[in-house]
A and B are shown apart, each in its own frame.
Chain A
């Protein structure tokens, strides 16, 4: 292949046996085997570390997204298990990655992973929910490429903190200039579209999963 890019003048004088098609093929095959072994080695050696990195990226955020525990539960270790939650609603199906957190066997909350289109590119967020899935307990932006200095402020703590304590049942709405209503989120100045995008992503995820999570929480209760 690639015969067209070849320029033979740069090569040293050829010897006849080297021009044999079989010999030429052998070198490529040999290299393919050597490189295949190298890659298999890399995969075996690093695969688990990479998978753990990917997992930890989200799992390390989970504690901060839950409602702070009080009393004896505060010192208990958090157990997190992850599953895929299929949802079908309004003729559309979606699958959400949901992390369930427990302290001492007691349900401590849920963290839902979701994504959607932002102003510039995809925005990926984690939404923390109370055990009954009725109150938002935290928001974290995993990935975003919004405009630095404007839309990128969706990842800053002060803006994200507005979501804490908001009810999950009614859709949130974006207001400009200090909205303090029960389900209002104040837009970032100069980045209303980014703010709206995050709120829309959160609203859609909550509408999809909250009732199902609430039902699961009821079932899990002893």
Chain B
């Protein structure tokens, strides 16, 4: 139960509370560049969500099994040459950024090929955006966030599993789509407005972005409230008395 609450909170956090665009400022280039028409914005959002989810799966797997200190595959491979003690100390995390960026490039290629072959309809709606998003910072940012929840986390139980990583990427993408579509909707209307000449185009879009960011700030803290509401109260009360008896007995 708490596990699903956890996933829900990650998803909600990525989509609304800590929105990729309005809170972390990633994916600003397409947010400004491709937000003139709602259909284009939606296509771009879908492409980003798609690629982000696949790139997240690849980078989670690579980080968990190869890149992080003490990762099983690396330890096994190093164990072929080194003694077990030295092999356990091999740390490939310096390569993570390079691996992530190529994982993203590979996902872009993969998604493009797959869509063109099996879902031509979908490909026609957002295929043109796919090459552009290799350099979309939102996707690399998702990979880096997943990395920060794996590397350097002391508690093995607190390390993110694949489902948590995917929840972040998928709903981060949904949040990005939401942001860019709202923005496009507003910009379509803005064209009919009498904006002072120096502010036409990007400057007024940024000011609108600022107001939207303020609106999204309203979501802050919702996760805390939800967590309290969704955690059964019995679990909180039961913790205190257990502290002494349960633990005292187990300690030798």
A interface residues with partner B (beta carbon < 8 Å): 1-2, 4-5, 39, 42-43, 47, 84, 87-90, 92-97, 113, 117, 119-121, 169-171, 193, 197, 204, 207-208, 210-212, 215-216
Contacts and interface: CB of A to CB of B under 8 A. Distances in A.
A43 B91 CA distance: 9
B5 to A, nearest CB: 12
Contact of B243 (A2, A43, A211): A211
A39 B94 contact: yes
A5 B221 contact: no
Contact of A120 (B2, B155, B220): B220
Interface stretch (B27-35, B104-112, B162-170): B104-112
B134 interface: yes
Interface string B129-172: 01100100000000000000000001111100000000000000
Contacts of A90: 235, 238-239, 242, 246
B240 interface: yes
B224 A89 contact: no
B134 A96 contact: no
Contacts of A42: 94
B239 A207 contact: yes
A5 B243 contact: no
Given A90-B235, A207-B243, A211-B251, A193 B221 contact: yes
Contact of B247 (A5, A117, A119, A212): A212
B39 interface: no
Given A96-B154, A211-B247, A119 B224 contact: yes
Interface string B217-245: 00011011001000000010011101110
Given A193-B221, A211-B243, A93 B154 contact: no
A11 to B, nearest CB: 18
Given A89-B239, A95-B154, A119-B221, 20 more contacts: A1-B106, A1-B109, A2-B105, A2-B109, A2-B134, A4-B112, A89-B242, A89-B243, A90-B239, A93-B157, A94-B155, A94-B157, A96-B155, A169-B244, A193-B221, A197-B224, A207-B240, A208-B243, A211-B248, A215-B251
Interface of B: 2, 9, 18, 91, 94-95, 105-106, 108-109, 112, 130-131, 134, 154-158, 220-221, 223-224, 227, 235, 238-240, 242-244, 246-248, 250-252
In the complex, the 6 A-B pairs of residues with the closest C-beta atoms, listed nearest first: A4-B131, A95-B155, A215-B251, A207-B243, A211-B247, A5-B131
B157 A4 contact: no
A171 B240 CA distance: 7
Given A39-B95, A212-B251, A95 B246 contact: no
Contacts of B109: 1-2
B194 to A, nearest CB: 36
21 contacts: A1-B105, A2-B109, A2-B131, A4-B130, A4-B131, A5-B131, A47-B91, A84-B154, A88-B250, A89-B246, A90-B242, A90-B246, A95-B154, A95-B155, A119-B224, A171-B240, A197-B224, A208-B247, A210-B243, A211-B244, A212-B251
A117 B10 CA distance: 11
Contacts, number: 81
Q: Describe A's contact surface by its main secondary structure.
A: mixed
Given A5-B134, A42-B94, A119 B220 contact: yes
A208 B157 CA distance: 15
A208 B154 CA distance: 15
B39 to A, nearest CB: 21
Contacts of B157: 92-95
A42 B91 CA distance: 13
B36 to A, nearest CB: 22
A94 B239 CA distance: 14
A35 B223 CA distance: 43
Contacts of B235: 90
A5 to B, nearest CB: 5
Contacts of B95: 39
A55 to B, nearest CB: 12
A89 B235 CA distance: 11
